[in-house]
A = this chain, B = another copy of it.
């Protein structure tokens, strides 16, 4: 069996140290020569690893200075799924969350299909309403794979969002989104303090880790108080080398 190429091993080494928190944003990452000395690769191999990590948004490099872990803003285009609490606080506003439900439920057809488990299986479920400066802006209805995160339901989700808790356990590897426009159910409408006849944006999100589906989440937003914004700059254009540009900010949820 073929071993992974060394530049890839180097990348994973550094990604691990970032995702475990050993390296925090703006921390210094070992320089190319450090990696040469510590791992025995050639400088070009270390260069390729760090260069690809730059393109992927994990780190930032400054010629003549060094390589540093990218901050949250830049990391968003790696993770793509930003934590709503961080998003709100990044706007300088106050985030609060009201937990409406936090228990095991029997998997519906939709949930079972999404998480690839049996219909009726007991699935941890948490439902909460996120608010920005006290104004509700999102209902989060999240199901997680039973075997994943055993202590999930014991968390205090008014303090740490489910997204933040889960991403601390395992790094997100894949995400799938579906977006629809729908009329909200009456109870949802009330929770989000929506006007009558106001439609809502519904985002269905599945995430994977280690090749297995981990979470299935329904996110409901008031239609006229929130919008999804995405800005895309194809690679290969002049501006794409400017690593200060957020290449892709997709769903700011």
Contacts and interface: CB of A to CB of B under 8 A. Distances in A.
Interface in A201-253: 201, 221, 223-224, 227-237, 239, 248, 250-251
B227 A179 contact: yes
A180 B232 contact: no
A6 to B, nearest CB: 14
Interface residues of A, number: 46
A228 B36 CA distance: 45
A88 interface: no
A11 B237 CA distance: 10
Interface stretch (A20-28, A130-138, A158-166, A168-176): A168-176
A181 interface: yes
Given A180-B227, A181-B181, A182-B224, A56 B236 contact: yes
- Which of A11, A79, A183 has most B Cβ within 10 Å? A183
Nearest to A15: B236
Contacts of A180: 201, 223-224, 227
A199 interface: yes
Given A55-B55, A237-B173, A250-B250, A182 B232 contact: no
Interface of A: 11-12, 15, 52-53, 55-56, 58, 78-80, 172-183, 197-201, 221, 223-224, 227-237, 239, 248, 250-251
